[in-house]
Amino acid sequence: MDKRKRIYIESDRLQLILSNYDDKIGNSVGNGIGYIITAIAYAIPMIMSDFSKWKTFGLILQVILVLFGVAIFLYGVYVFYNAVEHPFNKDTLYDEIEEANLMKEHPHSIVLLKDTFNLNSNRFLVYYDSRWDCRLFLNYATITEDFAKDEQNIAKHLQMELKISEDKMEYAFEFEKVHEKYSPTSNENKCYRHRFYKFILNEFSDITKQDEFEIDGKKFYWMSIADMEADKKIMERNSDVVGFVKKAS
């Protein structure tokens, strides 16, 4: 299972972040020590050398060269101090870039609940979502990375919505997909981390056996993948998820 996180960031924002670390990228305690040693190795010969044969010009040149060595030494001290007091590494840079991530992942758990009360049926339970204005697989916000706890959370929702006890359910994690898609509720693209769980009900009520039914104002439907593919609105707004399920079925 791919646990990698996608990061979306505008190029100018990334350039700004990198420019903020111009003086830190490549600098370390070792670099500071290196500058200091270089400065000492350079300055000592300059101090001990005899520039007197060039008289005034030689004295000025010696002072300039020695000051140059001092400047390298001070820069080395600065790099060393900065590396110690403000350590910088790839993790620091990553955290800064992740902080500017334009598109956070939206974790949702999708329920694949099949019509098992009919022999050889290939229908899944879907519901009408008023915000998306189309029929979707049952789904709930992923509350934790713990799969067992996430399954229990889904089971509680199904208990309330379908009026069935948890001991009549069997469930297991199927697969996970991270993908970008357009959200009609916010009018923008979002990055979704979708977990897919297979749920099996060992008992169906007379209501839930109907092709279409309503419980507590929520409308449910039994639909096959072919039915979904024939529904223009579903394919406009949720074809990627339908495709994931079709491929895995």
Tokens 């870039």 sit at which residue? 97
Each domain of the chain, given as residue ranges in start order, spans 11-99, 105-248
What's the CA gap between 200 and 116, in Å, rounded?
Answer: 8
Q: Is the pLDDT of residue 23 over 70?
A: no
- Name the pTM for this structure: 0.61
Type of residue found at 75: Y
Looking at residue 5, what DSSP letter applies?
P
What's the CA gap between 83 and 92, in Å, rounded?
Answer: 13
For residue 123, give the 3-state DSSP assignment: strand
Note the CATH number of domain 105-248: 3.90.79.10
Q: Is the pLDDT of residue 36 over 50?
A: yes
* 12-26, 107-121, 206-220, range with greatest mean pLDDT: 206-220
Position 163 scores a pLDDT of 93
- CA distances, 147 to each of 49, 173, 196 (Å): 74, 7, 11
Across the range 109-129, mean pLDDT stands at 93
What's the CA gap between 73 and 76, in Å, rounded?
Answer: 5
- The alpha helices in the chain, defined as continuous H runs, are 11-20, 29-48, 55-85, 90-99, 147-162, 225-229, 232-248
Across the range 166-190, mean pLDDT stands at 85
189-223 pLDDT, tens digit per residue, is 778 889 999 999 999 999 999 999 999 999 999 99
CB neighbour class for 222 (10 Å; exposed up to 12, middle 13-18, buried from 19): buried
Position 1 scores a pLDDT of 42
- CA distances, 81 to each of 46, 69, 93, 144 (Å): 26, 18, 19, 42
Q: Is the pLDDT of residue 51 over 80?
A: no
